[in-house]
Amino acid sequence: MIAANALGFRHPGQSAWLFRDLDFHLERGQTLALLGRNGRGKTTLLKCLAGLLTPVEGTIARDGAVGYVPQAFASPFPYSVFDVVLMGRARHVGLFSTPTAEDRARAREAIAEIGLDAFADRRIDTLSGGERQLALIARALAAQAEILLLDEPASALDFRNQAKLLALLRTLSRERGLTILMTTHDPTHALEIADRAVLLHGGGHAEEGAVADMCAEDRLTALYGLEMRRLEFDAGGRSAAGILPHYGAGYPRL
């Protein structure tokens, strides 16, 4: 469970709120998507929820360990995938100790769960963007996180890898009962796996609701300042939905 109550944030020394009076409540196994234009506070909200930033107003309640998955692995050191995942155990390793056999076993389990076995000994800088993203998720799993916070997990991936990632996240929430919050620039992703969505309109205006309502055409059009269309189509007998921008409707003025 993770819940926000009247959450508000603005940067120190600035009068404009990024978001304000934001409430939501996510149960175990639910998924929430954070949508909004660049600079409207998606990552900031995620960091507040991860405890990396302190909200200016409001409170956050969580009943489980939080695993923050950054957009990219930023260390200049070419650690092996196994070493990276093992670092997820930091919380469980004392200041003057090193990981135990149990820590290593948990790291191996997490790697196996994500299906990265074959890559365990590879240097992380030799992996593709999609595989690196998976390694970071494995690290959060090794940390025994029950709430996953992902910062644009799919933004650097091709369509096929996006599908794999979404399938993995769906499995983690449905079968493992993980609570998942992710920022994304693709409303289709929200529609695909999320139960709820938060729209950050900027200027302190934020709304939260069921994903179908939040991804209504008029709402998204207002959110992005661009004509957005929802398309329903038949994909092998199963009805699917996608959301596309109508770029040609008039490019925004530069």
What residues line the site for another protein (CB under 8 A)? 12, 47, 50-52, 67-68, 70, 74-80, 83, 87-88, 90-91, 93, 95-99, 125, 139, 143
Alpha helices in 35-128 (DSSP H): 42-50, 81-86, 101-114
Three-point CA angle 192, 197, 199, nearest 5°:
125
Nearer to another protein, 141 or 199 (CB): 141
Q: Do 200 and 10 contact (CB within 8 A), yes or no?
A: no
68: nearest Cα among 50, 88, 81 = 50
Minimum distance from residue 218 beta carbon to another protein (Å): 36
The distance of closest approach from Cβ of residue 83 to another protein in the complex, given in angstroms and rounded to an integer, is 5
Smallest distance from the beta carbon of 215 to another protein, in angstroms? 29
Contact 35, 223 (CB under 8 A): yes
Minimum CB distance to another protein, residue 231 (Å): 37
Shortest approach of another protein to residue 75 CB, angstroms?
A: 5
Beta bridge partners of 32: 181, 196
Residue 242, helix vs strand vs coil: strand
Region label for 189, one of left (φ > 0), alpha (ψ between -120 and 50) or beta (otherwise): alpha
Q: From CA 145, how far away is CA 139, in angstroms rounded? A: 9
Nearest approach, Cβ of 165 to another protein (angstroms)?
19
Nearer to another protein by Cβ, of 26 and 140: the residue is 140
Instruction: Report the C-alpha gap between 89 and 216 in whole angstroms.
Output: 41
- The structure tokens listed for 196 are 């709820």
Rounded to a whole number of angstroms, the minimum distance from the CB of residue 67 to another protein is: 8
User: CB-wise, 13 or 252, nearer to another protein?
Assistant: 13
Q: Which is nearer to another protein, 99 or 153 (CB)?
A: 99
> Would you say 66 or 215 has its CB closer to another protein?
66
Q: Per-residue b/e over 136-171, b at no fewer than 16 CB within 10 Å?
A: bbbbbbbbebbbbbbbbbbbebeeebbebbbebbee
